[in-house]
Amino acid sequence: MHRSCLAEGVPTVVGNSWISGLAFPDWAYKAESSPGSRQIQLWHFILELLQKEEFRHVIAWQQGEYGEFVIKDPDEVARLWGRRKCKPQMNYDKLSRALRYYYNKKILHKTKGKRFTYKFNLSKLIIVNCPLWEVRAMPAPNLFRPTLVPMGMQSKLLHSMLLTPWAMVEQLAGQWALRGPPAASEDKKGSSSRIYQQQFPGSPTTDTLLSGPTCPPATWRFPGLPLLAGLGQGAGERLRFLFLRPEGLEVKPHPLMGEKGYLDPWEGFFAEMQRPKPGEESLRSPNLENFEAEWPLDPP
DNA sequence: CGCGGAATAT
DNA sequence: ATATTCCGCG
């Protein structure tokens, strides 16, 4: 219907927020005037391309720097983007302008000196987009001793997640049929430049906060990491991330969710699938000591 | 190329 | 709001 202008061979969505194994949660999409139709955002699209091997020659992660990617074929990426958005006149000049708008939003930044190379601000990626981490009590934010997630560590984690075989996740996600309408994260003022905070994993009150009003049961989340798997009980519940909603699935509450409002079967899963393959060691789960050691105390 | 202002579109 | 379009500047 709304894809009339789409051509084949382009990664595309059926319905919305469903991309062959990887779907972004509703809250990651911009709220459109028409409640029913949300539109893909450029960075979602980029992530999507980055996710698929068939586009390796067009755009790919830069080895070495987590979250950094190179647009190997700007014209092609622009073309693909144009198709998705039904903007045949799209070109790299315009696309890059859109990317530049992300600088202020802290979603991306440019890797200077490297042509066509940008870098995702992985930590912001979560914080900015997951309502879970937004502390709504703006008046006295410091009461919570807000902290940012460990940068270096997080980047690794997120990056590895982005490289994750989502098809597998898809299967699992299917089993835990998902939720209903996103509890529209009521956002009052300018949302993008907001001050985002995150609960300190070591904080004793975290669980309460997570289950509280800040995190509606409708919000799906999972501990996205092998890293957390090694952190012991509570830790795995602190870092949650993007979520999936297979399109065909009827969204309904799942019995297994209980009052917690969420499931947490991921530890084992990630531990399993992130098992470092020979010649690959970057994904090795660090231990708790290291994790804590890298915890910065200073938000930007 | 890459940047960011400005006007415009959805 | 998040782009799209156009464009002058370095």
Using C1' positions and the CA of A84, the closest nucleotide is C3
pLDDT digits (tens, 9 = 90+) for A26-80: 666 665 555 555 688 899 899 889 888 899 999 999 888 888 999 999 999 999 9
Strand B lies under 7 A from the Cβ of residue A74: yes
Closest CA to A196 of A124, A244, A263: A124
The model's pTM = 0.54
Contact (Cβ atoms closer than 8 angstroms) between residue A157 and residue A224: yes
Contact (Cβ atoms closer than 8 angstroms) between residue A122 and residue A159: yes
Q: How far is the CA of A36 from the C1' of C6 (A)?
A: 32
Q: How far is the CA of A294 from the C1' of C5 (A)?
A: 44
Q: How far is the CA of A1 from the C1' of C10 (A)?
A: 45
Average pLDDT rounded to a whole number, residues A106-132 = 80
H helix intervals, chain A: 42-51, 74-84, 92-105, 122-129, 151-162, 166-175, 206-211, 226-229, 266-273, 288-293
Q: How far is the CA of A32 from the C1' of C7 (A)?
A: 29
The Cα A196–Cα A228 span in angstroms is 22
Using C1' positions and the CA of A99, the closest nucleotide is C3
Closest CA to A87 of A136, A42, A132, A47: A42
pLDDT digits (tens, 9 = 90+) for A125-147: 665 554 444 333 333 333 223 33
Q: How far is the CA of A68 from the C1' of B2 (A)?
A: 17
Q: How far is the CA of A250 from the C1' of B3 (A)?
A: 45
Residues close to nucleic acid strand C (C-beta < 7 A): A 30, 41-43, 81, 85, 87, 89-90, 93-95, 97-98, 101, 105, 189-192
Strand B lies under 7 A from the Cβ of residue A115: yes
Look at residue A4 in the predicted model and tell me its pLDDT: 57
* CA dist list (Å): A270 to A154, A172, A181: 15, 12, 27
Residue nearest to nucleotide C1 (CA to C1'): A30
Asked if residue A216 has pLDDT above 90, the reply is no
Residue nearest to nucleotide C5 (CA to C1'): A94
Q: How far is the CA of A244 from the C1' of B6 (A)?
A: 38
Query: A79 or A228: whose pLDDT is higher?
Result: A79
Look at residue A52 in the predicted model and tell me its pLDDT: 85
Q: How far is the CA of A239 from the C1' of B5 (A)?
A: 38
Q: Which of the nucleotides in strand B have any atom less than 7 Å away from a protein CB atom?
A: 1-6
Asked if residue A288 has pLDDT above 80, the reply is no
Asked if residue A197 has pLDDT above 90, the reply is no
Asked if residue A205 has pLDDT above 60, the reply is no
Mean pLDDT, all residues of chain A: 52
Contact (Cβ atoms closer than 8 angstroms) between residue A190 and residue A125: no
Closest CA to A22 of A199, A173, A197, A238: A173
Give the contacts of A254 (CB within 8 A, at least 6 positions apart): A176, A177, A178, A179, A263
| Structural domains for chain A | 40-129 (1.10.10.10)
